[in-house]
Amino acid sequence: MGILKKELVLSNKDAVNDDGEENPEVDISESESESEDEDVKLTERSKTSIYNRDGLLDKLGDISWPKDVDWRHKLSLDINQEQEVDVNDDLARELAFYTQALEGTRQAFVKFQSMQLPFLRPSDYYAEMVKTDSHMVKVKGRLLAEKRKIEEAEERRKARESKKIAKEVQAQKLKERAKQKKEEIESVKKWRKQRQRNGFEKDDQMGLTFEDGKTFEKSTKKRPGVGPADRSGGKANRVGWKGKKGGAGGKKGRDFKDSKFGFGGRKGMKKQNTAETTNDIKSFNKSNLSENKKRKR
Amino acid sequence: MGKKRKHSEAEVTAPVKKDEGAPQRPKRTLLGWKDKVEEKESDSTAFRNKEKVLVTCSRRINYRYRHLMMNVVSLLPHCKKDNKVESKESKGATLNELVELKGCSSCLFFECRKQKDLYLWMAKCPNGPSVKFLVNAVHTMEELKLTGNHLQGSRPLLTFSTNFDKDPHWKLLKEMIMQIFGTPKDQRKSKPYHDHVFVFSIVDDHIWFRNYQISVPHNEADKVDRGGLDKMTLVEVGPRFCLNPIKIFGGSFGGQTLYENPFYVSPNQIRALEKKQKAGKYAKKVKAKKRRKMHEISNPMEPDEFADMWKE
């Protein structure tokens, strides 16, 4: 195998051919190297090529239609493409084609309108189309699927962000609560110290805000649930309580567990009955006492 | 099944509207109503576009290119699709005879080589010029991303970019394209109304083809709504391809070469060059090693003073 010569042949723009004219845009040029030495991507390459201008124009005259043919036969339009379009930039290229077509149709429609010819399809004109109905159904399906994908992605993103925000808000709330607690304790301590300092006199004359005993009442806004020592089973076993039995419907959240078991979760699963619950027979359904429970209902 | 064709009704209304000048009843001919009997008669008898295109392909054509050919057939109502031709016969005389036999005036021949490269011959028969193109970047109408649709057989609007008028070979190509891809007026299988547009544009010395459906809000058939021209949108119907002219011949499928594209490299050559490049890898490596050795021998390194420091 020979050595691969990689010469870049630059085109020189001298005229060569039969016609002797030069045209800088077209590819008439003389090569300096033999035709075998080629570069891989031949963008700048040129070689001796035939360009029979007169012959081309002759043939053009042969085949072209008479000049005075009505435009309606030709239906051709020439659109000026202002900028040079880079071939490799797909979007720009397609945009250029699109604008060319748009311009062309505008001009054509203006002409048609002036000729007062019908050129737009009426809505009740049914005829065979170039793509079948079944194909168009597929196209529609695909478009809808794409739309749905985009929407789902949007929703997922929103859900993620809102979760993030919710977490932050929750963290904030917890911090605040902790702070409040601390403050309250601090204030009690301060009060005690002050009292100590003042020698335990004037007990009734201290108009301190926390003295009305309300600090030991927690805010009733929070869960009206169960105290720590309450073993009655909380909300869940209340008579007539529907909808939350066994955590139905995914409501096994913190709130529910707290109310059912008190803070800290299930404490000692072993014995749960209290005096009241042992004697509580309201949850037994009298009607199905005598029935066959094994029969599928 | 399918859709109703109210085609005939529409056709009747159209020429009647055009016929404002002629007092007498328009003559009925095989090709439709012959209207404007007075001055246009010389024109219409002297010029009637009787273009017929024969569309064929070679054997062993790829499925993609066959679909492209079928798409082209559906776009041109004035074409005749013929059977595949043997590859031995794909030069010159036989194709010309075939075209004559079918009574066509031009031919689009899709020649597929090695099941990889598609060459398109566009020829005006019997003695017109012919062009051979290399076809790239093929997208058929069946692609789901091309969502437009239009009437089958409606006459297209042809748009050319102005670079077609710059050089004689482009001018010739433009004329040929206009005659082959433009549906003749009053062609038997053509439908009225213009609802799609072809784009032929020269970028990087290639001819790019696009086909768009025109959608414009309108209520009447001959008038666009006010401001409707601005709301016009185009949806791509397909197919899409890119033509690289190789040679233009003076005769049909042969004859004197009128033009040769100097930038054209055949795909075979490109593939061969790529292979050659890859194949030289080992030889290059050996050479590089030898060169390095020579270089080392000719410039010996100075002995390093610290080389023996850690030796036992």
Min Cα distance A115 → chain B (Å) is: 9
Q: Please give the radius of gyration of chain A, using alpha carbons only, rounded to the nearest integer.
A: 45
- Per-residue pLDDT averaged across B173-178, rounded? 92
Judge: A93–B158 Cβ closer than 8 Å, yes or no.
no
Judge: A40–B274 Cβ closer than 8 Å, yes or no.
yes
Q: What three-state secondary structure class fits B223? A: strand
Judge: A53–B74 Cβ closer than 8 Å, yes or no.
no
Structure tokens at B32: 């439709």
Structure tokens at B251: 């005769």
- pLDDT over threshold 60, residue A245: no
Mutation for B interface: A41, A115, A116, A130, most B CBs within 10 A? A130
- Using CA atoms of B101, B107, B108, B114 in order, give the dihedral in degrees to the nearest 10: 60
Q: Is the ipTM of this complex over 0.85?
A: no
What is the 8-class DSSP label of residue B35?
-
Alpha carbons B98 and B252: distance in angstroms, whole number? 12
**Alpha-carbon torsion A95, A99, A102, A108, what sign?**
negative
- pLDDT over threshold 90, residue A218: no
Judge: A131–B237 Cβ closer than 8 Å, yes or no.
yes
Structure tokens at B221: 């058939």
Residue B216 pLDDT:
86
Min Cα distance B246 → chain A (Å) is: 11
Kindly indicate the confidence band of residue B24, based on its pLDDT and cuts at 50, 70 and 90. low
- A113 Cβ under 8 Å from any chain B Cβ: yes
Structure tokens at A142: 């695909």
Mode of pairing for the β-strands spanning B106-113 and B117-124: antiparallel
First to last CA, chain A: 88
Min Cα distance A261 → chain B (Å) is: 59
First to last CA, chain B: 98
- pLDDT over threshold 80, residue A293: no
Q: In 10 A of CB A244, how many CB atoms?
A: 16
Is A53 within 8 Å of A61 (Cβ atoms)? Answer: no
Residue B279 pLDDT:
84
Q: By percentage, how much of chain A surpasses pLDDT 90?
A: 25
| Dihedrals phi, psi of A204, to nearest 5 degrees | -80, -15
Alpha carbons A70 and A76: distance in angstroms, whole number? 11
Residue B4 pLDDT:
56
Q: Which of residues 79-108 of A touch B (CB under 8 A)?
A: 79-81, 85, 87, 93, 96-98, 100-106, 108
- Per-residue pLDDT averaged across A260-286, rounded? 73
Q: Which of residues 36-65 of A touch B (CB under 8 A)?
A: 38, 40, 42-43, 45-53, 55-57, 59-60, 62-65
Q: By percentage, how much of chain B surpasses pLDDT 70?
A: 84
- Per-residue pLDDT averaged across A207-231, rounded? 56
Find the residue in A nearest to B71 (Cα). A130
Alpha carbons B180 and B174: distance in angstroms, whole number? 10
- A69 Cβ under 8 Å from any chain B Cβ: yes
- Per-residue pLDDT averaged across B67-87, rounded? 91
Specify the DSSP element, H or E, that contains B269: helix B267-279
Residue A19 pLDDT:
40
Structure tokens at A242: 């529907």
Residue A190 pLDDT:
93
Residue A47 pLDDT:
65
Tens digit of each residue's pLDDT (9 = 90 or more) over B209-255: 999 999 888 877 777 777 778 888 999 998 999 999 999 999 888 88
Tens digit of each residue's pLDDT (9 = 90 or more) over A103-115: 898 888 888 888 8
Structure tokens at A247: 């955590």
Q: Which of A117-131, A171-185, A242-256, B177-191 has the lowest mean pLDDT?
A: A242-256
Judge: B221–A122 Cβ closer than 8 Å, yes or no.
yes
Q: Any residues with CB less than 8 A from the CB of B171 and at least 6 apart, and which? A: A56, A57, A60, B164, B165
Is B84 within 8 Å of B59 (Cβ atoms)? Answer: yes
Q: Which of A217-231, B134-148, B172-186 has the lowest mean pLDDT?
A: A217-231
Judge: B74–A80 Cβ closer than 8 Å, yes or no.
no
- pLDDT over threshold 60, residue B17: no
- Which residue is associated with the tokens 């009734």? A204
- pLDDT over threshold 60, residue A203: no
Q: Where are the domains of chain A?
A: 57-119, 137-196
Q: Any residues with CB less than 8 A from the CB of B121 and at least 6 apart, and which? A: B107, B108, B109, B111, B130, B131, B132, B133, B253
What is the rounded average pLDDT for all residues in chain A?
73
- pLDDT over threshold 60, residue B10: no
Q: Any residues with CB less than 8 A from the CB of B240 and at least 6 apart, and which? A: B137, B138, B139, B146, B208, B209, B210, B211
Residue A79 pLDDT:
82
Specify the DSSP element, H or E, that contains A119: none
Residue A280 pLDDT:
76
Tens digit of each residue's pLDDT (9 = 90 or more) over A29-71: 333 333 334 444 444 456 678 888 888 888 888 888 888 888 8
Residues of A within 8 A of B51 (CB-CB) are none
- B191 Cβ under 8 Å from any chain A Cβ: yes
Is B78 within 8 Å of B183 (Cβ atoms)? Answer: yes
Structure tokens at A98: 């699109």
Residue B39 pLDDT:
44
Q: Which of A11-20, B13-22, B38-47, B200-209 has the lowest mean pLDDT?
A: A11-20
- Name the residue with higher pLDDT: A211 or A159: A159
Residue B117 to residues B27, B120, B121, B244, Cα–Cα distance (Å): 50, 10, 13, 12
Min Cα distance B235 → chain A (Å) is: 9
Tens digit of each residue's pLDDT (9 = 90 or more) over B26-76: 666 666 665 544 444 444 556 788 889 999 999 889 999 999 999 999 999
Tens digit of each residue's pLDDT (9 = 90 or more) over A121-150: 888 888 899 999 999 999 999 999 999 999
Residue B150 pLDDT:
92
How far, rounded to the nearest angstrom, does the alpha carbon of residue A256 sit from its chain's CA centroid?
35
- A194 Cβ under 8 Å from any chain B Cβ: no
Alpha carbons B98 and B81: distance in angstroms, whole number? 12
What is the rounded average pLDDT for all residues in chain B?
84
Judge: A49–B261 Cβ closer than 8 Å, yes or no.
yes
Tens digit of each residue's pLDDT (9 = 90 or more) over B286-306: 999 999 999 999 988 888 888
Kindly indicate the confidence band of residue B310, based on its pLDDT and cuts at 50, 70 and 90. confident
- Per-residue pLDDT averaged across B134-160, rounded? 92
Q: Which of residues 127-186 of A touch B (CB under 8 A)?
A: 127-131, 135-136, 138-139, 142-143
Helix segments in B76-149, DSSP class H:
93-102
* Cis bond before residue B129 (omega within 30° of 0): no
Q: By percentage, how much of chain B surpasses pLDDT 90?
A: 51
Residue A136 pLDDT:
93
Q: Smallest Cα–Cα separation from A27: which of B188, B170, B57?
A: B170
Residue B219 to residues A104, A112, A146, B17, B77, Cα–Cα distance (Å): 22, 15, 32, 18, 27
What is the 8-class DSSP label of residue A41?
S
Alpha carbons B205 and B174: distance in angstroms, whole number? 13
Residue B125 pLDDT:
85
Kindly indicate the confidence band of residue B16, based on its pLDDT and cuts at 50, 70 and 90. very low
CATH architecture of B53-264: 3-Layer(aba) Sandwich (3.40)
Is A118 within 8 Å of B193 (Cβ atoms)? Answer: yes
Q: Phi-psi category of B297—alpha, beta or left, where left has phi over 0 and alpha has psi -120 to 50?
A: alpha
